[in-house]
Every structure is written in structure tokens, then in C-alpha cells.
Amino acid sequence: MSTNDTIYTTNGQIATLVFNRQNSRNAMTWEMYDALAAACEKVDTDPDIRVFVLRGADDRAFIAGTDISQFQNLRTTADALAYEDRLEQVVDRLEQVTKPTIARVQGAAVGGGCVIAIACDLRICGPDARFGVPVARTLGNCLSAANCARLLDLVGPARLKDILFTARLIEAPEALTVGLATQVVEATALDDTVSDTAEIIAANAPLTIQATKEAVRRVQAHRRLSSGLDHDLINNCYTSHDFREAVKSFLAKQQANWTGR
């Protein structure tokens, strides 16, 4: 489960996966996504584990999205759908972990990092936590319908549109108000709060918790689009001229020039 950029550890009944690509604010490579999926399998098959915690290695970022360099060769409809399908497999696997999941968020949880955080059951945050999916400002791609649904479940349709239309980042106090954060605590109390919450959950009836988590997941899944009904939307964004040029601009640290093509 551990790689050069992820560290998987256990402490009693608590498993932790640390995203440890600090020079890139933990921007996710495919190896890191695969390590997350493998950690989910380990957590589910280890009878001693009761809670799974995800966190960044330091407090500059939880996860600052997907590594944009991986988009340089994305050109076709097949490329776009393969990317979103592969991402959804990992996020769906995280969502279906049978043990409670806690995202410890301090710093940026942006793009893919925001999606990973909202796929967790709880998000315990420090004062510098920031959530957002600023693709309308950065790349010109889009969220899949499944990830829109995950965000929609937490914040509702009007706030979802506000977050995506404006491409702004939601600071910790607002994140708590709108439902993105479960708790916001002082930075000095963050680790203890995560640990204490995990220990409280681990001490409770595991079958009750599993049943509650799965019931909520099934209700949410029932409301989502059938597979493939968002493919035209993904294709329109990912195969556009705007997306190709925005990837180049992002990697060159320049502002994208939007044309609508």
C-alpha cells in the first residue's frame, strides 16, 4: 500500500494513508490513486481495522488535485472517458469502504483532492482548509455526473453551481456552514480531534456503523445517473481546444485564454 508518495500505517484499530508528495502539494499521480485503491482493499480485509483516516503529509495541502502533467496526451473521446472512468473506479472504491473514513483536511483539498475528501464519511478540518473544484478557471474540463452528485448531496444545487461557476475556493468557516466540513478546529487541536473521533467510532458497534454507512450510500447511489449518461458532457470539455490549450497554459504557469471551442 505504501509507495514513494503514499504511506500506509496502522495504529491499533485505526489505519492511516498519508499523501506524501509534498513538493507538488500532494497532486495525485496514477500510482497514488492506485495506492489509495489498494489501501481501501487492505482496510476492508483487515478485521482489526475499524476506521480509515486520509491526510496530507503536512498542513500545506490535503491533496491539490490531479497532477496536470498527466493530461498532456489526452486528446480523444476515448482518452477523456478512460480518465474519468479510472478516477471514478478509485473514488467509488473509497466511497464503498465498509469501515468509516475520515479526511483530515488542512490546506488545499482541490479538484481531485476535493472529490476524495467528499467521498469520505467525515471531514475534520483545520482553520486553513480550503475546498474547491476550480476547473472553470484552470483547465476547462468538468466533473463527472457522479462527482457532481457527491458534491450535490453535501451542499445542494445552488451552492454547487456557485462553487463550480465561480471556481472559488471555500474557506474553512464557510465549508462548515455549507456542509463540506464536518468539524473545524484549531490547527493545534486537529490531530487530537481526528484521533479522538476515530477512537470513539472504533469503540462503537461495527455492524451498526457499517449498516448506517451502507444505507446512506445506497440512497445516494439510487439518485445518481446511470453509467454513461454524462459521456457527452465529458467529451465536450476534455476534447475541446480550450482544454488542450489550458493544460499547456497551466504547466507554463500562464492564464488560460477561453474561446468556447
pLDDT in tens, 58-69: 999 999 999 999
Domain ranges of the chain: 6-187
Comparing C-alpha atoms, which of 2, 70, 57 is closest to residue 25?
57
The 10s digit of each residue's pLDDT in 31-84 is 999 999 999 999 999 999 999 999 999 999 999 999 999 888 888 999 889 989
Q: How far apart are CA 172 and CA 117, in angstroms?
A: 13
Tell me how far apart the alpha carbons of residues 239 and 141 are, in angstroms, rounded to a whole number: 9
pTM of the model: 0.95
Mention the CATH class of domain 6-187.
alpha beta
Gyration radius of the chain over CA positions: 18
